[in-house]
Amino acid sequence: MFKGAIVAIVTPFKNDKVDEDRLRELVEFQIDNGINGIVPCGTTGESPTLDNDEHVQVIQICVETAKKRVPIIAGTGSNSTTEAIALTRHAAELGADGALVVTPYYNKPTQKGLYHHFKAVADNSEIPIILYNIEGRTARNIETPTVAKLAQDCPNIIGVKEASGSLEQAKAVHEACGKDFVILSGDDALTLPMMELGGAGVVSVVANIVPADVVKMINLYNGGDKEGAQMIDAKLAPLVASMFLETNPIPVKTAMSLLEMCSADLRLPLCEMDEENLEKLKTAMSNYGLLKGQPA
């Protein structure tokens, strides 16, 4: 169920509230373009600045709009184990198909602490759990032996979103956990290299604006046309790089505003792009053919 092109969807705001109508439109846009799954309330969805009611609101809208046409993998992680359990339970009650549970951040647990944290969430969950390993934001890497022990001891921990930036780690996890353990790239730039090592797909930022291309790239790869997939990957590369000119999701939300998909509104401490980076983003979008009057 959890494979292919999965979008880490933004949370659109209007007057500092969740823009429900836009969110529904974005979910429909993704499904119309063949996306294989949707992650609400992840990093790209600005989960740290959503309150509990908004967290529920966003997941519920995605579930209700998708109507089981694609799986909804709700971001339910926290640096509090109790809160992560509560969020995961609530996501299950809302009808989410799975949960993406990020490494606890700021409190810097040991590997033993990470094991007990994720096991507690899994033991109290009725839906599949995907670990989210992103040391750059959490200050802790989920080391391969820890992932392997969790996969062995918790049947509903079925995969990991690997955003460590290390292909060696992805390879080690695949070897330690076996072919049925789902490894999803957490970095658009590493999607194909990670799939070469046994990855099942990507949780993508750039798919917010070009979902059809990300879907096509992965479908070509899975169909045996690696050269065709690499051509799309090469075309995507400058656009992907522009998505990380500043902290995600600042650039992707700005790009979506330029495409009139949603507002560029962000919540502090995130803020609008610097002018120099905005011009670089516009150039990348124009070169890709996304802005009006520009060739693809």
Tell me what the pLDDT averaged over the chain comes to: 96
pLDDT at residue 7 in the model: 98
Confidence of residue 293 (pLDDT cuts 50, 70, 90): low
Q: Find the mean pLDDT for residues 109-137.
A: 96
| Residue 2 pLDDT > 90 | yes
Residue where the block lists tokens 């962000």: 266
DSSP 158: E
Verify whether residue 119 is a known catalytic residue.
no
| Residue 96 pLDDT > 60 | yes
- In the chain, what percentage of residues exceed pLDDT 70? 99
pLDDT at residue 1 in the model: 81
Tens of pLDDT, residue by residue over 22-38, are 999 999 999 999 999 99
Verify whether residue 149 is a known catalytic residue.
no
Q: Where are the domains of the chain?
A: 4-222
Confidence of residue 292 (pLDDT cuts 50, 70, 90): confident
pLDDT at residue 296 in the model: 43
Which position among 115, 132, 221, 288 bears the catalytic label? 132
- In the chain, what percentage of residues exceed pLDDT 90? 96
CA neighbours within 13 Å on the CB side: how many for 214?
33
pLDDT at residue 295 in the model: 45
pLDDT at residue 9 in the model: 98
Q: Is the dihedral of CA 115, 100, 270, 279 positive or negative?
A: positive
CA 202/CA 233 separation, integer angstroms: 13
Tens of pLDDT, residue by residue over 237-277, are 999 999 999 999 999 999 999 999 999 999 999 999 999 99
CA 33/CA 42 separation, integer angstroms: 21
Tens of pLDDT, residue by residue over 189-224, are 999 999 999 999 999 999 999 999 999 999 999 999
CB 144 within 8 A of CB 113: no
CA 98/CA 2 separation, integer angstroms: 9
| Residue 294 pLDDT > 70 | no
CB 183 within 8 A of CB 194: yes
Which position among 3, 115, 149, 161 bears the catalytic label? 161
Amino acid of residue 195: M
Which CATH superfamily, name and number, covers 4-222? Aldolase class I (3.20.20.70)
Residue where the block lists tokens 């700005």: 254
pLDDT at residue 115 in the model: 98
